[in-house]
């Protein structure tokens, strides 16, 4: 497996699924123009020459030197004549640098993003034309097209587990001595710690899911072409598993609950959904496992992402859904060992995440709280429900207690809308439906622990009901939103609430509760179906289900302020300084 | 009813009650001088002439052009000879304007509040003479005094439902084409949206109930004369209904509870108080209904007011008190339909209010939280109590659950005293007694739902007891406070707590709890009596029970910065800018 | 007792204990050099002459004039010729001041903290020598050494109850008329309110326990010598009582609980520990009582200290531990009157402390919240537990309810890590173990109130378990920390948690819970033993168990802003201003 090239490293089994699912799988397409303002900024930094730089400009294009380790040396090995010309020619003709410095003036904020070896070389070749702020060059002839192995796109290497690591080690071995060579070699300094600090995510990204690059930022990965599939496959894909898995439970409940017996729902629906769910969980897990193996750097960046990080609870919750929704024909009662196996990673993640909330670092709750944190809470209640269903008692109460304590904290914090909660979307957004998840599941969990739907369960259920209604009436939630895979995560709360309603109607059976059960079930099934259709359309028709995952491609240090960005940046940093001091 | 003039539009029934209660009902009295600094600022903006302007100065007095739509054209139609006389008389002594303009210099922030249509017109006709800076003219001879209909005070028209609307439409129809006439007609631009943004309430008002105009602000309604009664009748008048209604329940409880049977209280007291309460609720509701009909604009402004808005829960709570305190001789058991009818508006208000807390706009909880928010919580518990008393079960638990969840949020938020909670009074204030209301009523509600005063009820009761004691020992709460109608709202928590104490003493009957019951009941009855006397004194002796309701008369855009205010304002806006950016 | 001099005022009984425990008891040793940067600043302020000033420089050394009332007049009485020379010579020859200002130049660090009467006098006598920046003079020959009464160290007088008060009264009697004598007498103005404002504690101190003086600050008490023992004896010494007292309960529980019966623990351990605990509580109480009597000023400053103030709950909690851990051989059942006697002061303190949280002053919760606040919560649960063990019911529920409500508030607030919580340690710290205390004790209290370890108790217990685990895995908590007496307070939560575990294992008896019981008991006993050894080493070997208690020696007004500090300070004050305005 390691013999094949990395982009093609997916096992055959996977490939036949994934490549069917997503056209353009592993193909790298060329962008043809300036796609965003951010890119424009990047482009103006590029001091390449217009005419002759096309062939080698490709590989070094938009990578800011200080953002990520550029395997300069190894990359340059491909064209030995070029790479060796740098050290020799630099001392001889520093003219290009001089011109550049005059141009940027005494207030230059940050010496050239691309005062890297190659740009310097370019300038040396044609010093006069180097001043031309060239149009971005159509970059990235894909490796497949050219068919030549030594022209494969190396810009993704820093995210690769092996190539990146080895080349980085190699570079740093060579890079460190070069640091002492003086200013001229600044561009060659290789960063050995490419992981951005947490604050960078807040600074560089925006949007309710922190998935859009700010205008002032540049991406470390090329924005003009499609990345390798694995790099574009986000952890939030597990949201699909949550959505379908919860539907399987819903239909199991609809089929078995006496209060909605008049619907005569067959258990077959549950079986079908459960199988779908099982396939989905397996597929997504397998693909993500590959991502962990081959692009560990990218996974780390997802884990560090303030919103995305919460989705790391999703795989385990999805498995718990599988356990909970298992058709009676498949297994009457799942083994309790499974429960312990699934709760262990949830527990570890919680110790990590809740500890970060409390410990005063960059991830303290007054800073990161946002509705997606509910994913890190709801695992407790789902676990408690699953455990109690299996007949366990102390374990479920433990997770219920942990969930309750932290849910109180999160609920209060989110409701308060502290102005310091930078990741909390300014306006309401479908992500707020996650609010409904925790009390819905908590009511069921408590009812299962307790043996019946007592006052405690009802309080939790009614809180969920109120929140559901309160969100549902705000129509403006649903306007002007573009589809994203993360939406799946926002459907499982409504499904969970439907299940809780059926459970409640079992306790209080009357026309009203039965109508509620049917109504909410219909809504949730409709939502999931609509989303499924959207997903299929996006996957096979529009072929944009997995766009470039900009969230993980932020630079480590913030925009290396070229001129026009500079004033903005200084304001920014002043503000940040003040924030640190004051708030 | 629409044939009569608006100020006299109260139905006869009402009039006989209200005019007895408040002398000066509907009469508009003249102020005679400059009453406050804010007014001084407004006054200097008034560019009328000293001698001849008295008669017609009345109608255009203190209305800043940019704050509210001035129905200039329609107003001028009433006396064409008069309206055209203005431009003629002004030119005779335009000296003041010149002085003013020199003084304000090239950086003048806002050219005269009243460079509105008429003053602008004046300048165009005789530009040189437009400059006299006159002393403020004693304005506002009331319409009644003069007895001439076309001289009625039109300054209140913008708040009127019909006159305002029609005239505004008329003005805007005429005003819009005028906008293209150039700068000279700037004053003619008619504001079609006269409702201030939420932030304006925080900026323009101060005091624990946000009912005092800041020095830098001007009122859109004349501060020098009494406004029409309906405009001065605030929603907080329902506080009286809460106070008397809760007393009716207290005396019913005292008469029927075995633990205080040794007092031999007669149910007649309950009957009398209940009838008083019924009359009060009817009267206040009727008057407020008239306000809704005739001054809808004013009601909207009250509803938008961050503190006052919470009082919109009061009418429904007062009705629930009536239901709860109904004497056994009147009705053994009220119909449950009544409960649903009363809870529906409470539910709708809650969906609105709690949604605003969460949704990140200007009314988010970390900004608006203040003790009067308890009014929006306590309705849940009162509703739960009333419903459970009627024998309902799920509905009461629903409201109990919603109340509990949001009470937790509010309790934590208020206790934290976030520095961003701008409406929270700096120091303790009687409004803090509202803290006692929710847990008191919650303990009774839970006891009624549950069938007995269990541990849960006791926990709620003891929390109320601690808070009551904690507030009561802080003597400085009670110093230096002037009477206001809002005080009534602060008495019902003590009454509610007394009832809870009696309820508790029924469960734990001993000398100590009986003493507590008697003691707290005595305190609450004494408080209510004292307040009743104060209210009567203020209503009939001092005749200032309903002062001008400054809270609703703030301008839409902030002070139209005259010179001395300007530096202050720029600091202010800088700070606000920063707040938005940073916090 | 009042006949003896104050430093020797400890009763004989105490002395024999305390002087054995701490060598250097009551002796005042001389520092010999500059010990810290703060002291350096203080030292350069001292404008004494090298040769002749020794004798009287002693007494006035490091007391900044504006920080604390200097009993100038009474002090000067000793040398009447000197004191009378001041008013006369000052106007005549301002030369000394002039010289001083030239010399200190534009960068002078701190103009004369001691431009007090005596230093001025010194300079006037020998203006030329005054310019010599002398090395700090070895100050403070102890009164014992010299044996002359009028040379005893008067720098501690302001903290003394009687000498301080009398002399201050005397000074103020004389000082007030002198205020009218003009500027020359500025130094003589006597401060009558020597207590620093709360904000000063935040400004002047740093560290997780606010026990380290900031660099820019000076101490009002000499930092170069050991203070009188009582001044160095902090309220946090009661932490030892908590630690040993809780161990006594643990071993009682180990001896009596059937679930750990296999350990065959003897009740003798409980008896021994209880006696130790009794002796410790008595000793510490007695010493602290002496501090209250003789250094009331110091006690007030400890009470006002945002962190230290919470330790005023410790004595009563320690007594409750004694009651709870009483060996069956000593008393079968303690009298309930004892419970009321102990809960009364806790209740009073709570009314005070919680009221401050809510009331919007400098001690509002969003400002002061820090883990040591748990001490003010845990008293409720300990009280509830002790009361319920005695067979009481309503009282314990009352305290349980108060504790629950305020614990919720504190838990949420601490978990949120509001950026305004200035006393919350930046990073995790052993003080966070106090998090475990409240839920542990609450679970036991609820179980005792309720009669068995129900779901409520389990939820509390499991929350404690999660928090314990979450803190224990963070190894970096335990690095780089220096021993302090306060550590004792952080051991009782682990002991409390062990007891709760045993209690839980009584309900759910299996190998796992038994192992947990034994394990956690071992850890807590080991921790306490280790701490005991450390304490003994520090007390008798290193003799630094009670270092100078800098926390109480902050000046009232902040550094007397000399030039270079000024810009810093102005930024500071600007920031504070902004904070007040914005946040």
Chain A residue with minimal CA distance to B449? A455
Which residues touch B437 (CB under 8 Å, ≥6 apart)? B374, B378, B492, B493, B496, B497
The predicted structure's pLDDT at residue C429? 79
CA–CA dist C404, C398 (Å, integer): 10
Tokens of A425: 């979307």
The predicted structure's pLDDT at residue B426? 74
Is C355's Cβ below 8 Å from some Cβ in B?
yes
Say if the Cβ atoms of B458 and C583 lie within 8 Å: no
Per-residue pLDDT band at B548 (split at 50, 70, 90): confident
pLDDT at C27 over 50: no
Beta pairing, strands B212-213 & B205-206: antiparallel
Best B426, B462, B571 member to test C by mutation, with max C CBs in 10 Å, is: B462
- Over residues B67-77, the pLDDT tens digits come to 334 343 443 34
| Residue A64 vs residue C382, higher pLDDT | C382
Q: Are the beta carbons of C467 and C440 closer than 8 angstroms?
A: no
Per-residue pLDDT band at B252 (split at 50, 70, 90): very high
The predicted structure's pLDDT at residue B142? 40
Q: Compute the residue count for chain C.
A: 583
Is B35's Cβ below 8 Å from some Cβ in C?
no
Compute CA B531 distance to the chain's CA centroid, rounded to the nearest angstrom.
Answer: 19
Per-residue pLDDT band at B7 (split at 50, 70, 90): very low
| Mean pLDDT across C519-548 | 90
SS3 C334: coil
Say if the Cβ atoms of A360 and C428 lie within 8 Å: yes
Instruction: Flag the least confident range among A436-440, B276-280, B535-539.
Output: B535-539
- Over residues C479-521, the pLDDT tens digits come to 656 777 878 888 899 999 999 999 999 999 999 999 999 999 9
Q: Are the beta carbons of B324 and B386 closer than 8 angstroms?
A: yes
Say if the Cβ atoms of C426 and A358 lie within 8 Å: no
Q: Are the beta carbons of C232 and C48 closer than 8 angstroms?
A: no
- Residue C545 neighbours by CB distance under 10 Å: 23
Say if the Cβ atoms of A583 and B583 lie within 8 Å: yes
Tokens of B577: 């800018």
The predicted structure's pLDDT at residue A483? 78
The predicted structure's pLDDT at residue C549? 80
Per-residue pLDDT band at B151 (split at 50, 70, 90): low
Q: Residues of chain B with pLDDT > 70: what percent? A: 60
pLDDT at C318 over 60: yes
**CA of C127: how far to CAs of A261, A537, C119, C122, in Å?**
104, 93, 11, 8
User: String of b and e for A522-560 (b: at least 16 CB within 10 Å)?
Assistant: ebbbebbeebbebbeebbeeeeebbebbbbbbbbbbbbb
| Residue B83 vs residue B413, higher pLDDT | B413
Q: Which of B311-325, C129-143, C300-314 has the highest mean pLDDT?
A: B311-325
| Mean pLDDT across B354-365 | 83
Is A409's Cβ below 8 Å from some Cβ in B?
no
- Contacts with A582 from chain C: Cβ below 8 Å: 575, 578-579, 582-583
Is B412's Cβ below 8 Å from some Cβ in A?
yes
| Mean pLDDT across C126-134 | 40
Chain C nearest CA to A409, separation (Å): 5
pLDDT at C67 over 50: no
Q: Residues of chain C with pLDDT > 90: what percent? A: 37
- Cα-based torsion angle of the residue sequence B141, B146, B151, B157 in order, rounded to the nearest 10 degrees: 60
Give me the DSSP letters along C229-247.
Answer: HHHH--GGGHHHHHHHHHH
Q: Are the beta carbons of B283 and B206 closer than 8 angstroms?
A: no
pLDDT at C6 over 80: no
- Over residues B13-52, the pLDDT tens digits come to 344 344 444 433 343 433 333 344 444 444 344 433 333 3
CA–CA dist A347, A342 (Å, integer): 9
Q: Are the beta carbons of C358 and B414 closer than 8 angstroms?
A: yes
The predicted structure's pLDDT at residue A105? 38
Q: Residues of chain C with pLDDT > 70: what percent? A: 60
| Residue B578 vs residue B216, higher pLDDT | B216
Is C366's Cβ below 8 Å from some Cβ in B?
yes
CA–CA dist B399, B390 (Å, integer): 14
CA–CA dist A336, B55 (Å, integer): 91
Residue whose entry in the numeric block shows the structure tokens 């217009």: A50
Chain C nearest CA to A364, separation (Å): 6
Tokens of C319: 């007594």
pLDDT at B275 over 50: yes
pLDDT at C18 over 90: no
The predicted structure's pLDDT at residue C70? 38
Residues paired with residue A213 on neighbouring β-strands, in sequence order: A205
| Residue C477 vs residue C113, higher pLDDT | C477
pLDDT at C57 over 50: no
CA–CA dist C49, C127 (Å, integer): 9
Chain B nearest CA to C500, separation (Å): 21
Tokens of B408: 């937790």
Is B419's Cβ below 8 Å from some Cβ in C?
yes
| Mean pLDDT across B539-565 | 71
SS3 A206: strand
Q: Which residues of chain A have pLDDT under 70?
A: 1-155, 157-159, 161-195, 208, 475, 477-481, 557-583
The predicted structure's pLDDT at residue B417? 87
Give me the DSSP letters along C360-397.
Answer: TSTT-HHHH--GGGHHHHHHHHHHHHHHHHTT--HHHH
| Mean pLDDT across C379-407 | 95
CA–CA dist A161, A146 (Å, integer): 25
CA–CA dist A113, A111 (Å, integer): 6
| Mean pLDDT across B247-272 | 94
- Contacts with C420 from chain A: Cβ below 8 Å: 583
The predicted structure's pLDDT at residue B84? 38
Which residues touch B571 (CB under 8 Å, ≥6 apart)? none
The predicted structure's pLDDT at residue C477? 66
| Residue A342 vs residue C131, higher pLDDT | A342
Best C360, C396, C424, C452 member to test B by mutation, with max B CBs in 10 Å, is: C360
- Residue B581 neighbours by CB distance under 10 Å: 12
Chain C nearest CA to B197, separation (Å): 20
Instruction: Flag the least confident range among A320-334, B424-438, C23-37.
Output: C23-37
CA–CA dist A228, A549 (Å, integer): 10
CA–CA dist A254, A258 (Å, integer): 8
Q: Are the beta carbons of B448 and B395 closer than 8 angstroms?
A: no
Per-residue pLDDT band at B427 (split at 50, 70, 90): confident
ipTM comes to 0.71
The predicted structure's pLDDT at residue C306? 84
Best C369, C404, C406, C416 member to test A by mutation, with max A CBs in 10 Å, is: C416
- Contacts with B579 from chain C: Cβ below 8 Å: 582
Per-residue pLDDT band at C141 (split at 50, 70, 90): very low
The predicted structure's pLDDT at residue A1? 38
pLDDT at C536 over 80: yes
The predicted structure's pLDDT at residue B361? 74
pTM exceeding the 0.90 threshold for the entire prediction: no
Is C478's Cβ below 8 Å from some Cβ in A?
no
- Over residues C169-215, the pLDDT tens digits come to 545 555 444 434 434 334 333 343 456 776 777 777 777 677 777 77
- Over residues B289-316, the pLDDT tens digits come to 999 998 888 898 889 888 888 999 999 9
Compute CA C286 distance to the chain's CA centroid, rounded to the nearest angstrom.
Answer: 17
CA–CA dist C533, C525 (Å, integer): 12
With contact defined as 3+ CB pairs under 8 Å, the chains touching A are: B, C
Angle at B292 between CA B291 and CA B296, to 5 degrees: 100
Instruction: Flag the least confident range among B354-358, B397-401, B550-554, C277-281.
Output: B550-554
């Amino acid at each position: 497996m390691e013999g094949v090239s990395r982009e093609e490293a997916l096992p055959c089994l996977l490939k036949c699924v994934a490549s069917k699912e997503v056209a353009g799988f592993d193909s790298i397409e060329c962008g043809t123009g300036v796609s965003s303002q951010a890119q424009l900024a990047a482009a103006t930094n590029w001091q390449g020459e217009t005419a002759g730089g096309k062939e080698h400009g490709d590989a070094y294009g938009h990578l800011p030197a200080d953002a990520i380790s550029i395997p300069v040396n190894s990359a340059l090995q491909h064209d030995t004549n070029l790479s060796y010309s740098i050290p020799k020619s630099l001392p001889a003709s520093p003219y290009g640098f001089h011109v550049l410095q005059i141009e940027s003036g005494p207030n230059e904020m940050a010496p050239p993003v691309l005062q890297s070896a190659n740009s310097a070389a370019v300038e040396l070749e044609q010093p006069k034309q180097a001043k031309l702020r060239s149009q971005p060059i159509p970059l990235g002839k894909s490796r497949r097209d050219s068919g030549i192995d030594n022209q494969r796109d190396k810009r993704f290497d820093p995210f690769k587990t092996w190539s990146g690591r080895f080349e980085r080690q190699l570079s740093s071995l060579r890079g460190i001595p070069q640091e002492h060579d003086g200013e001229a070699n600044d561009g060659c300094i290789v960063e050995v710690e490419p992981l951005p600090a947490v604050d960078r995510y807040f600074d560089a990204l925006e949007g309710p899911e922190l998935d859009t690059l700010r205008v002032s930022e540049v991406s470390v990965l090329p924005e003009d072409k499609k990345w390798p599939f694995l790099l574009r496959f986000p952890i939030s894909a597990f949201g699909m598993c949550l959505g379908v898995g919860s539907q399987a439970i819903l239909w199991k409940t609809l089929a078995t609950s006496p209060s909605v017996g008049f619907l005569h729902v067959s258990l077959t629906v549950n079986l079908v959904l459960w199988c779908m769910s099982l396939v989905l969980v397996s597929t997504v897990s397998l693909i993500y496992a590959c991502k962990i193996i081959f692009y560990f750097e990218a996974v780390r960046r997802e884990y560090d992402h303030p919103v995305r990080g919460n989705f790391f609870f999703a795989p385990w919750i999805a498995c718990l859904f599988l356990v909970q929704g298992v058709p009676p024909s498949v297994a009457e009662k799942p083994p309790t060992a499974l429960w312990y196996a699934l709760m262990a990673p949830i527990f570890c993640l919680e110790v990590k995440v809740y500890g970060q909330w409390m410990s005063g670092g960059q991830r303290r709750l007054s800073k990161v709280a946002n509705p997606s944190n509910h994913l890190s809470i709801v695992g407790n209640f789902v676990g408690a429900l699953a455990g109690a269903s299996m007949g366990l008692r102390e374990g479920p109460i433990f997770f219920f207690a942990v969930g309750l304590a932290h849910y109180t904290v999160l609920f209060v914090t989110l409701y308060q809308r502290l102005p310091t909660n930078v990741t909390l979307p300014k306006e309401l957004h479908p992500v707020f439906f996650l609010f409904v998840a925790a009390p819905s599941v908590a009511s069921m969990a408590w009812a299962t622990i307790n043996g019946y739907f007592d006052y405690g369960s009802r309080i939790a259920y009614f809180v969920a009901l109120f929140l559901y209604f309160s969100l549902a009436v705000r129509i403006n939630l649903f306007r002007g939103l573009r589809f994203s895979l993360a939406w799946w995560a926002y459907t499982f709360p409504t499904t969970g609430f439907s299940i809780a309603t059926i459970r409640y109607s079992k306790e209080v059976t009357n026309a009203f509760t039965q109508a509620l059960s049917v109504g909410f079930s219909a809504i949730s099934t409709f939502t999931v179906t609509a989303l499924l259709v959207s997903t299929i359309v996006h996957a096979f028709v529009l072929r944009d289900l997995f766009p470039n995952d900009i969230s993980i491609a932020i630079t480590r240090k913030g925009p290396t302020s070229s001129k026009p960005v500079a004033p903005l940046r200084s304001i920014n940093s002043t503000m940040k300084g003040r924030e640190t001091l004051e708030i």
